[in-house]
Amino acid sequence: MKRLFRNFTFNPKNDILSGLTVALALVPEAVAFAFVAGVDPMVGLYGAFMMGIVTSMFGGRPGMISGATGAMAVVMVHMIQKGNEVGMTLATPVENLGLQWLFITLLIVGVIQSMAGVLRLGKFVRLIPHSVMMGFVNGLAIVIFLSQLGLFKERVNGEYQWMQGQDLIIMLGLVGLTMAIMFLLPKLTKKIPSALVGIVVVACITIFGGLDVSTVGSFIKEGGGNGLEGSLPSLQLQIFGLLDTLNGHWGLIISTAFLLAAVGLIESLMTLNLIDEMTETRGSGNRECVAQGGANILNGLFGGMGGCAMIGQSIINVSSGGRGRLSGITAAVALLCFILFAAPLIEQIPIAALVGVMFMVVIGTFAWSSFRIINKIPLADAIVLVTVSAITVWQDLAIAVIVGVIMSALVFAWQNATMIRARKFMKEDGTKVYEIWGPLFFGSVQAFNSKFDAANDPEVIELDFMESRVSDHSGIEAIYALEQKYKEYGKQVKLVHLSPECKTLLHKASPEFEHMIVSSIDDPRYHVVTDLMDKEV
């Protein structure tokens, strides 16, 4: 109970102030991602609120912020567009049918993500290589930076053009001032979040100085929104009456749901891992999966666009001192209060201040040490690091992480495939012993088979697995084929020093292995790393 209370009130003052800072940064992000997905800005804001409140209260990482994200918004676009097209072709046309399909899809996404947590799949994020992690944060920092550049454009005669002249100078000056405050203030005091001070100072300068600059309000209206002011989210019961519109389109809904669930979980668990490293604490990936799923179900029921963990806002929160659940709860509740009560005030905040905050997030996110170590780490890891960074910018982080893990796994498999060894010696009773070193799996089978000489070996041979283990079906088949080969010559094969896991694997594969296995008190025992870490959490 004491630990639970501490999670909610790690440092109340810092949590509340950092939560307010995050809430201010959430507004333009949620609105921008709603525009990307092709839905009303209020849907994005509702999504940010519901994701934030649920994951902050029940998630596996205190201090981590969730909301509407660009990675998921991009995946939604095609399905929403298709839904809108279908809605116009119905006998009774349905306006914004794509949005209704999104709500239905989010219910499925929530179930998939919750099941991932129940099945304890979240622990596997800790097996992601460090080179992939560095590539992920570098690529994400570049993506955040590039996403802010669009805010240096202004509408001229109905078209967006890069700012020039005085407008550009003012924009750069306000961005630079915000960054300077965030850089210098912590050197004087850390009692007040520097990001919040930067936003307030720059907002006061533009408001009282009468500067004509782009604000949150103008940003929303330029994108086609009606403003920030709204009401409480409402229950979307009508979606259950629209299920018949999905006839012939369930494949699109299911595939989109699985893709959204995968993208959301990968981004959330990677962010959790990063915040773990920053705070030197450990969160629970499985609990976060369940919370993310619950939040997306709530979004589907109450009209939000869904989402996942937001790395930029999470870093702002942690850097500002927000380490407890109260910080995330404050951010979500403050966002809702902005929508309900403080819309006119929040709409006056200059976009330049928020850009400055995000630029500092970019600087803090990018792993600058990667430049220093790039020529000191193995070439394969360096290639993975650069590749993951590039794909994160080119496609999205989910694809980048998957590609990076596959590349690392292939490199690992190739290296281990060439490392298998067999030391040979004779026992006094004439038995020839092959001491196997290195894992026996699909990649090492060919090298394993080349170690034996069935025609010239004695009547009995032993395969000693003290320094090895049978890892997969290919390894099982290799042993079985080897035994059959020796059997043709009337010779016997014995397997010694197998771990309990290997014995179980062989017994399950075929009862013929029973007479080959020799058990001993000094048989090795291994444990799966992820199981050990899951027990610690």
**What is the per-residue pLDDT for 395?**
78
444 and 376, same domain (yes or no): no
122 and 240, same domain (yes or no): yes
256 and 335, same domain (yes or no): yes
Answer yes or no: is 399 within a domain: no
330 and 475, same domain (yes or no): no
Which amino acid, 155?
A: R
H helices, E strands: number in the chain: 22, 9
Residue pair 139/390 in contact (Cβ under 8 Å)? The answer is: yes
Answer yes or no: is 168 within a domain: yes
Range of the domain at 81: 2-90+101-147+164-389
Tell me whether residue 400 is exposed, middle or buried, using C-beta atoms within 10 angstroms of its C-beta: 0 to 12, 13 to 18, 19 or more.
buried
471 and 376, same domain (yes or no): no
**What is the per-residue pLDDT for 53?**
96
**378 to each of 381, 411, 417, 418, 438, how far by Cα in Å?**
5, 11, 18, 17, 21
385 and 428, same domain (yes or no): no
Alpha-carbon span 53 to 398, nearest angstrom: 24
379 and 430, same domain (yes or no): no
**What is the per-residue pLDDT for 252?**
92
370 and 432, same domain (yes or no): no
Strand (E) positions, 259-415?
Answer: 308-309
What are φ and ψ of residue 496, in 5° steps? -120, 160
Length of the chain: 537
305 and 434, same domain (yes or no): no
383 and 470, same domain (yes or no): no
Alpha carbon of residue 487 to chain centroid: 51
Q: For tokens 């099941």, what's the residue?
A: 115
> CA nearest 128: which of 306, 320, 319, 272?
272
Answer yes or no: is 413 within a domain: no
Q: Is 248 helix (H, G, I), strand (E, B) or coil?
A: coil
**What is the per-residue pLDDT for 415?**
83
**Which tokens hold the place of 106?**
């989010």
Answer yes or no: is 63 within a domain: yes
**Which tokens hold the place of 500?**
């309990």
Helical axes 70-89 vs 12-37, angle rounded to 10°: 40
Answer yes or no: is 345 within a domain: yes
333 and 262, same domain (yes or no): yes
Which residues in 350-367 are b (16+ Cβ under 10 Å) and which e? Answer: bbbbbbbbbbbbbebbbb
Alpha-carbon span 199 to 215, nearest angstrom: 12
Answer yes or no: is 95 within a domain: no
Answer yes or no: is 394 within a domain: no
CATH of the domain at 430: 3.30.750.24
Answer yes or no: is 402 within a domain: no
Residue pair 349/24 in contact (Cβ under 8 Å)? The answer is: yes
**Which tokens hold the place of 73?**
């918004």
Alpha-carbon span 469 to 497, nearest angstrom: 9
Alpha-carbon span 275 to 63, nearest angstrom: 8
pLDDT in tens, the chain (537 residues): 455 555 566 678 889 999 998 998 888 778 777 877 878 888 989 999 999 999 999 999 999 999 988 778 878 888 999 999 999 988 888 888 999 999 999 999 999 999 999 998 877 776 788 888 888 888 878 887 887 888 888 877 777 789 988 999 999 999 999 999 989 988 888 777 788 888 889 999 999 998 989 888 887 777 666 667 778 899 999 999 999 999 989 999 999 999 899 889 988 988 898 898 888 888 888 999 999 999 999 999 999 999 999 888 898 899 888 888 999 999 999 999 988 888 888 888 898 988 888 888 788 878 888 888 888 889 999 999 999 999 988 877 778 888 998 999 888 888 888 788 899 999 988 999 999 998 899 889 999 999 999 999 999 999 999 988 898 999 999 999 999 999 999 999 999 999 888 888 898 888 888 889 888 766 676 554 444 444 444
Residue pair 282/276 in contact (Cβ under 8 Å)? The answer is: yes
485 and 364, same domain (yes or no): no
Contacts 24+ apart (CB under 8 A), 233-241: 233/46, 233/49, 233/50, 233/302, 233/303, 233/304, 234/302, 234/303, 235/301, 235/302, 236/100, 236/103, 236/300, 236/301, 236/302, 236/303, 238/100, 239/100, 239/103, 239/104, 239/300
Count of structural domains, the chain: 2
Alpha-carbon span 436 to 469, nearest angstrom: 9
Residue pair 271/69 in contact (Cβ under 8 Å)? The answer is: no
> pTM of this prediction?
0.72
Residue pair 19/49 in contact (Cβ under 8 Å)? The answer is: no
